[in-house]
Amino acid sequence: MSAAATLQHHFTTAEQQADASKIGMWLFLVTEILLFGGLFVGFAIMQSLHREAFLEAHHHLDRVLGFVNTVVLLTSSYTMVMAVHSARTDRRKRVIVYLLLTLICAGVFLGIKYTEYSHKFHEGLLPGRFYSHKGDTVPGQFMFFSFYFMMTGLHGLHILGGMAAIAWVLRRAVRGDFSHGYYTPVDLVGLYWHLVDLIWIYLFPLLYLIK
Amino acid sequence: MSDNYLSSPRGIKSWLTTVDHKRIGVMYLASILFAFLLGGIFAILIRIELLKPGHNIMSADTYNRVFTLHGAIMIFLFIIPSIPAALGNFVLPLMLGAKDVAFPRLNLASYYIYVAGALLAIAAMVAGGVDTGWTFYTPYSTTTNGSVGLMTFAAFVLGFSSIFTGINFIATVHKLRAPGMGWFRMPLFVWGMYATAIIQVLATPVLGITLLLIIMERVFSVGIFNPQLGGDPILFQHFFWFYSHPAVYIMILPGMAIISEVIPCFSRKTIFGYKAIAYSSIAIAGVSFLVWGHHMFVSGQSPLANVIFSFLTFLVAIPSGVKVFNWIATMYKGSISLEAPMLYAISFLLLFAIGGLTGLFLGALATDVHLHDTYFVVAHFHFVMMGGTVMAFLAGLHFWWPKMFGRMYSEAWARVSAALIFVGFNVTFLTQFVLGSRGMPRRYYNYLDQFQPLHVFSTVGSWVLALGFLIMAGYLWASLRRPMDAPANPWGAVGLEWQTSSPPPEHNFEEVPLVTGGPYDYSTPEPDPAEVHA
Amino acid sequence: MDAHQTAAATYAKVLGTLLALTVITVLAAGLNFGSWNVVIALGIATIKASLVALFFMHLRHDKPMSAIIFVTGAAVLGVFLTICTIDSSERDEYRVRPARESISVQPAPSVPGRHP
Amino acid sequence: MNAWIRSVLMPVQGTAYAGRVDHLYLFLIYVSAFFFLLVAGLTGYFVIRYRRRGPGDRTPHITHHHGLEAAWTLIPLAIVMFIFFWGFHSYMDVTVSPADALEIQVTAKKWLWQFEYPNGVRTINELHVPLGKPVKLVMTSEDVIHGFFVPTFRIKQDVVPNTYTQLWFQATVPGIHELECTQYCGQGHSTMLAKIFVDDEKKYNDWLATGGDAGKNMPLAEFGAMLYASHGCRTCHSLDGIKGQGPSFKGIWGHPVKLSDGKSVMVDENYVRESILLPQAKIVAGFEPIMPTFQGMLRERELKALVEFVKAQK
């Protein structure tokens, strides 16, 4: 697709259009940061009020799975940035390969998350009133799992959204829409994907590691 | 005149799928006016119920639902989208000399999200109602019956509509200014919208997560705001006001933005202190994030936080004061004519001054402790929101009405209506300052007999106010049925939006305008303000 | 294309650093630094996040506007977190600590059906 | 002038602190009046003086004036900082209570106020305090957030579940003062009122010694009517047959009522007594289990009085 065909009527140059899209995307990312930020603030305060319970509860999480998932997500960020880079340098086949790799990583991440979730469901480590784990020595651990599920759940929804977006740019990449003159969609989806990664970078130590 | 945005392309479908910012603005305008009518009906019902103590026309439960809906509708469905999404959508690209906003499809999505949110809110009203107050304080909101979950979800959805408008405006201002229009040649309306958009983008997501947490609390009992489960209800208030205080500036900054357009135009004079007004908008946006705790002076928040927030609150008074003085100075040696938009602008000046000054009583700790959660607060925010934002909205509506619809309205009736609204408003709400000072708490269905005379006074005022709005509805409706004969520039204004025809063509300008001077070159002779500064 | 090679190599190096930091943070969590545990964990997370933002999200070479937006958002969140934390710890002495066992089992009287 | 403004705008000054609040309040009234008249006066003067005389009006090109702008930035800044320090200073008076203050425990719940005195005496919706003595209130709520507001004392504090919030005052005007709930708490919010009785120390001590047994010389049904009004029963239970949050008392005595579990029960002494002390035990069909318990809050004679009162509602 030529650059002219992708220029909307109210812009005069492709650069102006790309800049506007980028500003729009970054503003959207900031709203995402603040949306998650509320949960982080809530977690910080509740953690300080129920230190013992949170400490005890986080032992129920599987550090190894958390670590593997972090590696998977960081790798997917790398493949994503390589996809953007390949689009910018007109390597169309590589764009497709890297996008596919990113999708696979995302799938692996969700697969592992699914294993973790089903384990928690089995044990009764559920949020709020559904918490039914037996044999706790420290009360109040349900609150940790409230946050665990809200934070990883919201994050998981963002992964799903990201996968849909990646699938969409993948389709366009296959169609041959992108070139060094026009690769904004890959670029923006990349930014979004990195933000999802960035949030996980904080979630991992907060939920799995901190004592 | 047939080739304008209203008539071409034709057909309902072309409206529902339009990405034209002007059409989206008009659809928003129709929707928010409907919301205003709905909220207004609830207001009148509240005032009738308060005519005498005890049961008049509704039960306490109904009353609680009615005042909740009045607040929620007026704030989320009317006042937040009123100026930015309706008027701003229409005029901001025109003022910048742009063909559209940066993301036209996002703009349409924002409108449909608004509609979806409104439908959800109406569904919540019908299915059980909501009796929490628009503030949704926990643990009341997490334990009461009714459709609180649905209502909070509606507000959550409406938040996205607001965020998308904000994102659109920021990108538009950055990237779509006409050739020659530097930052300091932008009209102050654009500066105001820009400051508003910053708050919309940065504050609304926190409201989003807060409302989601209420839903989670109701469904899962997650515990964060529930004291019985070890949570902290005061933390909820931090979350809520972290959005809702800046949201007050989402409401008032656009009002100030309109006044900065109307006063120079009807005074035929350059705005006084352009840069001071522009910077004060940004300053207000910045400081607005630091003052939310003044809603919590008696909540059980720590005394340290109270003192910090009280101090910061007084700082935010300064940029607002600066603006008022600049507007007055603009009128000095002007050529002032009192058409409807200017009448509303002057109403704004007087009422907003009262609203702002009574804010001092509420910012100071000792007096706030007495006045908090009384009718004094109710009166204060109605003076700012209605005396401020709504008056400015009406000024803007009358100012740009000919531009939007190509028709003039009856100036005589407009003056009658402006007078009734001004008088009715003051009778209704000045009284409430006295009620509050004397100790009448807000959200009271019943009250002590000693307060009755003032309540009667206030209720009668609300009828005068309603009459003013009915007349306005009448003459505006009548104007739409007249032939399209408004000139391109009925007020002799200088903004770019007046250089195109009324109503504008589909792509706004026949040719892209080239900006060579400042935005308010009313005075003669006309040197470039940029040069005067240099 | 040299520029291409350089960029691709940088991305690979960044990934390597990120993975190394992940290992370090897990190892550090095995040791006990007392109250520094949180600082170390979040410090490493912030370094990782900065790497992602600077290189993967191109903030290092992008127009400044993107970075301004990002930093403003982070700063606003910082204000929110700081004030909420200060107020919460200031209020700590007034809080009633519910009896330990009552936290998770005591149903609120007015909400039927909690904690079956 | 000051006294007149105060009498129009403010309630009686029931404490010395109220006087200090009113002082600031009056100052703010004058500051506001000055600035409002400045804004309104200049606007009005300019509108008339510079009204449009014709389409050919020429206006001067004035863009800014540094001196003026600095003045209307810095002067208001100085004024608001002054107000801040004043408000902060007076506020500090109410945050720190004197060490020798008489401590009274306050519990708020939907929709009544309960007070417990140092000697164990408890009252509902009536707070008795000695004149001229500092009184410290330690407050908590059993359900949602309520607000403790005494307009004549100029004090207010939210009452939060699981938190002890505090207030103190030193009443200087004997008589009855109104206490109002200011944090919205549902259906009975506007009737969640109480009376504060400020009496000289002897009268207060006498009252405290008799345990606040106000109704000891009244006939039972009459005493019950008083308790019905003072203990918040009327918020939910009407006497005229209209259904509120709870069933009306009209004509229920001696008749069976249907319960939410399908059984039915006769309204007699035992049932009324149980409903007061263990309100969740038998819920009348069609109502929510929201009534608070009065276990430990009523004397035997008070219970009897309430039973007699219900009996009298034919």
Q: Is residue A189 part of a domain?
A: yes
Nearest alpha-carbon partner for A151 in A200, A205, A195, A116:
A200
State the CATH number of the domain containing residue A104. Answer: 1.20.120.80
Binned at pLDDT 50, 70 and 90, residue C109 comes out as: very low
Q: Are residues D70 and D156 in the same domain?
A: no
Give me the pLDDT at residue C115, please. Answer: 37
Is D186 at the interface with chain C, CB within 8 A? Answer: no
Kindly report, residue by residue over B399-435, the tens digit of the pLDDT.
Answer: 999 999 999 999 999 999 999 999 999 999 999 999 9
Kindly report, residue by residue over B46-55, the tens digit of the pLDDT.
Answer: 999 999 998 8
Structural domain containing residue D84: 2-49+63-95
Q: Is residue D214 part of a domain?
A: no
Q: Is residue A128 part of a domain?
A: yes
Structural domain containing residue C29: 1-61
Distance of CA B400 to the CA centre of its chain: 17
Question: Hey, are the CB atoms on D288 and C95 less than 8 Å from each other?
Answer: no
Question: Which tokens is B278 given?
Answer: 């522009």
The neighbouring-strand residues paired with D180 are D149, D193
Q: What is the pTM of this model?
A: 0.91
Quickly tell me which residue has 């004291």 as its tokens.
B227
For residues B86 and B64, give the distance between their C-alpha atoms in angstroms, rounded to a whole number. 30
Q: Is residue D10 part of a domain?
A: yes
Partners of B325 on chain D (C-beta within 8 Å) are 68-69, 72
Question: Hey, are the CB atoms on C76 and B301 less than 8 Å from each other?
Answer: no
Q: Which residue in the set C48, C74, C88 is minimally distant from A48, CB to CB?
A: C88
Give me the pLDDT at residue D214, please. Answer: 67
Higher-scoring residue by pLDDT: D95, B368: B368
Binning chain C into helix, strand and coil, the percentages to the nearest 5 are 70, 0, 25
Give me the pLDDT at residue C112, please. Answer: 36
Q: Are residues D75 and D7 in the same domain?
A: yes
CA angle A36, A144, A127 (to 5 degrees): 90
Q: Are residues C40 and C57 in the same domain?
A: yes
Kindly report, residue by residue over D225-239, the tens digit of the pLDDT.
Answer: 888 877 878 878 888
Q: Is residue C5 part of a domain?
A: yes
Chains D and B touch (3+ CB pairs under 8 A): yes
Q: Are residues C80 and C69 in the same domain?
A: yes
- DSSP letters, C67-102, are HHHHHHHHHHHHHHHHHHHHHHHHTGGGBPPPPTTH
Q: Is residue A7 part of a domain?
A: no
Interface contacts A/C by beta carbons within 8 Å: 140
Is B310 at the interface with chain C, CB within 8 A? Answer: no
Q: Is residue C14 part of a domain?
A: yes
User: What ipTM, to 2 d.p.?
Assistant: 0.90
Q: Are residues D21 and D85 in the same domain?
A: yes
For residues B58 and B63, give the distance between their C-alpha atoms in angstroms, rounded to a whole number. 6
Identify the closest residue of chain A to C32 by CA–CA distance.
A211
Give me the pLDDT at residue C114, please. Answer: 34
Partners of C110 on chain D (C-beta within 8 Å) are 143, 288-290
Residue pair B408/B486 in contact (Cβ under 8 Å)? The answer is yes
Binned at pLDDT 50, 70 and 90, residue C4 comes out as: low
Partners of B210 on chain A (C-beta within 8 Å) are 38
Q: Which residue in the set B175, B216, B507 is minimally distant from A16, CB to CB?
A: B175
Q: Is residue A1 part of a domain?
A: no
Give me the pLDDT at residue D212, please. Answer: 65
Q: Mean pLDDT for each 10-residue chunk of chain A (211 residues)?
A: 71 91 96 96 92 89 94 96 93 94 96 94 87 82 93 96 96 92 93 96 92 70
Q: How far is B156 from chain A (nearest CA, A)?
A: 11
Q: Are residues C8 and C45 in the same domain?
A: yes
Instruction: Provide the mean pLDDT of chain B.
Output: 93
Structural domain containing residue A143: 28-209
Interface contacts B/D by beta carbons within 8 Å: 282
The answer to whether residue D254 scores a pLDDT higher than 90 is no
Q: Which residue in the set A27, A129, A130 is minimally distant from B201, CB to CB?
A: A27
Q: How many CB atoms lie within 10 A of CB D217?
A: 7
CA dihedral B19, B22, B28, B29 (to 10 degrees): -170
Q: Are residues D118 and D87 in the same domain?
A: no
Question: Which tokens is D247 given?
Answer: 């069933």
Kindly report, residue by residue over B19-49, the tens digit of the pLDDT.
Answer: 999 999 999 999 999 999 999 999 999 999 9
Name the residue ranges covered by the structural domains of chain B.
24-522
Is C63 at the interface with chain B, CB within 8 A? Answer: no
Is B230 at the interface with chain C, CB within 8 A? Answer: yes
Kindly report, residue by residue over B102-137, the tens digit of the pLDDT.
Answer: 999 999 999 999 999 999 999 999 988 899 999 999
Residue pair B142/B229 in contact (Cβ under 8 Å)? The answer is no
Give me the pLDDT at residue A79, please. Answer: 96
Q: Are residues D205 and D106 in the same domain?
A: yes
Give the A window 63-122 contacts with B, CB below 8 Å.
none
Crossing angle, helix D269-277 and helix D300-312, to 10 degrees? 120
For residues B314 and A156, give the distance between their C-alpha atoms in angstroms, rounded to a whole number. 43
Kindly report, residue by residue over D58-94, the tens digit of the pLDDT.
Answer: 888 888 999 999 999 999 999 999 999 999 999 988 8
Structural domains of chain D, count: 3
Q: How far is CA B468 from each of CA B67, B396, B412, B417, B485, rounded to the nearest angstrom?
A: 22, 17, 13, 5, 26
Give the per-residue SS3 of B10-67: CCHHHHHCCCCHHHHHHHHHHHHHHHHHHHHHHHHHHHHHCCCCCCCCCCHHHHHHHH
| Most D-contacting residue of B269, B310, B373, B375 (CB-CB within 10 A), to test interface | B373
Q: Are residues D204 and D237 in the same domain?
A: no
Q: Is residue A166 part of a domain?
A: yes
What average pLDDT does this structure show over B499-519? 88
Q: Is residue D146 part of a domain?
A: yes
User: Strand D102-109 to strand D134-141: parallel, antiparallel, or no bridges (unpaired)?
Assistant: parallel
The answer to whether residue B215 scores a pLDDT higher than 70 is yes
Kindly report, residue by residue over B445-486, the tens digit of the pLDDT.
Answer: 999 999 999 999 999 999 999 999 999 999 999 999 999 989
Domain end marker among C45, C61, C77: C61
The answer to whether residue D139 scores a pLDDT higher than 80 is yes
Structural domains of chain A, count: 1
Structural domains of chain C, count: 2
Q: Are residues D262 and D197 in the same domain?
A: no
Q: Which residue in the set D52, D152, D155 is minimally distant from B337, CB to CB?
A: D52
Identify the closest residue of chain D to C109 by CA–CA distance.
D290
Q: Are residues D282 and D224 in the same domain?
A: yes
State the CATH number of the domain containing residue D244. Answer: 1.10.760.10
The answer to whether residue B528 scores a pLDDT higher than 80 is no
| CATH 1.20.210.10 applies to domain B24-522 | yes
